Chain A
Amino acid sequence: MKEIWITLATVIIAPLVGGVITGIDRKITARMQNRFGPPILQPFYDLFKLFSKETIVVSNTQILYAFLFLVFNIVAVVMFVLKMDLLLILFILAFATTALILGAMATNSPYSRIGAHRELISVLAYEPVLIAMIVAIYFVTGSFNIEDILKHNSFLILDLPFIFIAFSYVLTIKLRKSPFDLSTSHHGHQELVKGITTEFAGPVLGLIELGHWYELVLLLLFVWLFFAKNIFVAIAAILICYFIEIVIDNISARLTWKIMLRLTWSVAFGFALVNLIWVYIKYRLL
């Protein structure tokens, strides 16, 4: 019974948090660009407007994929809050992305298809790092279950600093922020138009937008995991981490997918690997 309440609460609260954070993001970004910026609740107004619009599609199946993207993201967040298996959550998250990619590929639009493939390349870049992160957490805490991971008696970050750096690195890709906003960007006038979401409009785009908010919350919950010992430290860490992401977004230009792939596989995965090996030796061999 308790689980059902938690689930309901998560489903309602998570998008609110995600939306507000997105609003703050837009405000800060605007200030950095010497603009006044929209009100913090603007993302909600946008979403309501999207849902009030008439449904326009290129292909019927797009609706299904947008829906699946949303559902998988919700499931992932709920599973996290219910403290289930971390690896499974990651898989579910990957399927949300897969649904989005398939949705973009369902039409014959070159823009959205290129976006889809770039998203696929992003998956190739960040997925190993994320799995490595989870395995490293396993080595330290001896469990894949969030329930048990939270029982760990110190800050995870102390054992996994490099993993955290690698994670922050791929967070930029996952949040589709510059310099890795390859598959879609927050501005519609770039060479890809809106990339992966080009062909989505109205309520269907609204579903995806909503899905992104859940995704954002989930990613920030991953940050929280590293500082879970103390809730205040965790909130501070999340805020700092997200602020840094915004700064990076605003000071960097987009890189090509090749550079992204090379950097993630060498630098980020390298960092993750080093940390992974040391916790393996520390907790398994010693």
Chain B
Amino acid sequence: MVNIYLLLIFLPMIAALFIYLINNSNFRKAIVFLMSAVLISASIYSISQGDRLLRLSHSLNFALEYLITFADYFLLAIIFLIGTKLKNKLISLLAILQFVFMFVFEFKVGKLEVENIFFVDHLSFIMLLLINIIGPLIAIFALSYMEEHEKHLHLEKSRQNIFFAIIMLFLGAMNGLVISNNILWVYFFWEITTLCSFLLISHDQNEESIKNATRALLLNSIGGLSFVIGIIFMYYKSGTVALNEIISSQDSSILMIPIAFLVLAAFTKSAQMPFQSWLLGAMVAPTPVSALLHSSTMVKAGVYLVLRLSPVFIDTWLSKIVAVAGSFTFVSAALLAIFQSNAKRVLAYSTISNLGLIIALSSIANVYAIYAAALLIVLHGVSKALLFLCVGSIEQGIGSRNIEDMDGIKYKMPIVAFLTLLGSVSMLLPPFGVLITKWIAIEVSTQNIVAMLEIILGSAFTVVFWTKFIGKILSDGKDKNKIEKFEFVKHIPLMAISILVVFVSIFLIQFTNTFVVPFFKSSFARYSGVSSSNIKELYVKDFFGFNPLVFFGVLVAAVVLGTLIYRWFKPKRYVPVYMSCENSDNFGFRGEKDRVVPFEFKNYYFETLTNEKTVTLIVNILSIALIAIMFGVILK
């Protein structure tokens, strides 16, 4: 039984080694497909086994403990070396500090016994599904994408072996992160993801990508250090490093200091303000990397940690501040997204914004808030994976990632345009689930008025930038030549993810009852009488009267009705746009001497009002202040 969990962690890592060593395209494809099948079935099998606390046989446990402790130091040494190679003293310093703290801590307390090495509950299941379904699909998409990508780069020798090796390593580390019970192990996998993201961002090895990767490494090292400090405090305050014991700990007030440090670490990993810059910088990496970082790995590790720890600190002053900080990220990232014309940056800010909302929801003391937080992790994961892959395909198709160049994309690349539309609509409109989580957020945040005001404003900003984006995808363009050819390896993963996007939303209630409610019941046992309540009582029938199934039903009916009505309204005549009858076609008007003057219209980006730089500065100052307040609150 334990083997399945070991498999989820170590098999991708072993596969990574083989992919790295054998730089052969067909071999790589075979391994990626094979691993996808294995990971998907293994994760589903492990889920079928239910909640578990697992212990290893004594010798295996012993071996693994030593292996991971050793690997941890090795990893920090690598980060230190990267720091020196990049001539970035801060990174090296942070690595040394982590090393020293860790070493002194482990030396002083001796061997930390954690009996149950794996702690697998329904939150882990949600994460496992996300990592092991979305991750492989992205990897498959990358097979076709990277071929194309390297063609553009004119490399002498393919570096794809490194690329796919890191992706496999990444997936293994994420699996480890969400099922480990020993927080030291969580830290180890956490650090692997930091290293992997550095390697993936710097993959193209040009000046810009190395610069951005360095920033990512630096900011995540701050998080790493914070994590180490959190662990040490955690041990001295509670006497344990086992997550399951920490969560069920009765006295939450003494754990405030370690929690605050761990939350700070989560902030860096989830690119919360003021640490958002690394995720934006990560945009220089090949698109599958962005898709992976934004949907199923890396940034989700941060919000996972907050949600995992939320039973400990929920309903304290700390949680109130974290809710304010999270919703501050929600509103400010949504505001910043309005200024963007670069599609990837819009998506990145939208990710940051949604992660802020997840963190806010995780720290609001309400059943539905927790449900919504867990749901949003999944909903955002699938939608964002789809959107990034689509934007990547568009970029390869039209050679630009600027939204302004996407006029008429619905003619040029119909499949991808439709899927992009689906993705962005799922982030904004009913009956898709993301909207429901925003709605829940407003309804439950009424007890925290500051967070509530932030969510109100953020929700208005969200409408603006998504509508602009969707409007552009649907708009008319002069060039109507189709350039898209159906490619199996590229389009099948896209379609699979879009089916997931629709499915998760249709079966939102069932998903909540199957995965989220049991997680809530087991993790929040301590919290206001949850343990005594029957699990049936916690089930949701609908969300405040909103049942997605009914709504989807109405929608289907509307579509049928609409088609019937369309027969009646069927256009008799097509006309050019109105230009006082002075236009030859839809894209120009007759000027003097009947010369055709083309016109174009660009979206508003509010440049005359303010700009991204100013807003970023203000937002960064405010968010640093919030973090200072967060630490101020816990000190007595």
Contacts and interface: CB of A to CB of B under 8 A. Distances in A.
Interface of A: 54-61, 63-64, 67, 71, 84-85, 87-88, 91-92, 94-95, 98, 101-102, 105-114, 116-117, 120-121, 123-124, 127-128, 131-132, 135, 138-139, 144-145, 193, 198-199, 203-204, 258, 261, 273, 276-277, 280, 284
14 contacts: A55-B569, A55-B571, A56-B572, A57-B574, A88-B439, A98-B463, A109-B586, A120-B604, A124-B461, A124-B463, A128-B456, A144-B544, A204-B569, A258-B609
Contacts of B442: 87, 131, 135
Interface stretch (B47-55, B279-287, B375-383, B575-583): B575-583
Interface string B527-570: 00000000000000000111000000000001000100110011
Given A108-B476, A138-B446, A144-B443, A123 B571 contact: no
Contact of B578 (A114, A138, A193): A193
Contact of A277 (B439, B449, B457, B477): B449
Nearest to A111: B578
A109 to B, nearest CB: 4
Given A57-B575, A106-B474, A116-B471, A91 B460 contact: no
Contacts of A102: 467, 470-471, 474
Interface string B457-473: 10111011001101110
A123 B464 contact: yes
Given A63-B566, A135-B456, A56 B429 contact: no
Contacts of B599: 110
Given A85-B545, A106-B474, A67 B562 contact: yes
A63 B578 contact: no
B459 A106 contact: no
B264 to A, nearest CB: 29
A91 B435 contact: yes
Nearest to B458: A128
Nearest to A269: B457
A132 B474 contact: no
B446 A107 contact: no
Contacts of A273: 453
A117 B604 contact: yes
Contact of B464 (A57, A120, A144, A193): A120
A64 B577 contact: no
Q: Which of A108, A111, A135, A273 has the most CB of B within 10 A?
A: A108
Contacts of B474: 61, 102, 105-106
A227 to B, nearest CB: 24
Interface of B: 407, 428-430, 435, 439, 442-443, 446-447, 449, 452-453, 456-457, 459-461, 463-464, 467-468, 470-472, 474-478, 544-546, 558, 562, 565-566, 569-579, 586-587, 599, 601, 603-604, 608-609
Given A94-B463, A128-B457, A71 B443 contact: no
Contact of B449 (A59, A145, A280): A280
Nearest to A127: B460
Q: Which of B452, B456, B478, B572 has the most CB of A within 10 A?
A: B456
Contacts of B475: 105-108, 113
Contacts of B447: 284
Nearest to B455: A131
Contacts of A107: 475-476, 577, 586
Given A58-B586, A98-B463, 14 more contacts: A55-B571, A101-B467, A105-B472, A106-B475, A107-B577, A108-B478, A108-B577, A113-B601, A117-B603, A123-B467, A135-B446, A135-B452, A199-B578, A258-B609
5 tightest A-B CB contacts, nearest first: A105-B471, A109-B577, A127-B460, A108-B476, A113-B601
A264 B457 CA distance: 13
A204 B575 CA distance: 14
A269 to B, nearest CB: 9
A94 B587 CA distance: 30
Contact of B586 (A87, A88, A108, A128): A108
A135 B453 CA distance: 10
Nearest to A138: B446
Contacts of A92: 430
Contacts of A101: 467, 471
A110 B586 CA distance: 10
A257 to B, nearest CB: 9
B571 A198 contact: no
B460 A128 contact: yes
Nearest to A124: B464
B439 A58 contact: no
B620 to A, nearest CB: 22
A87 B443 contact: yes
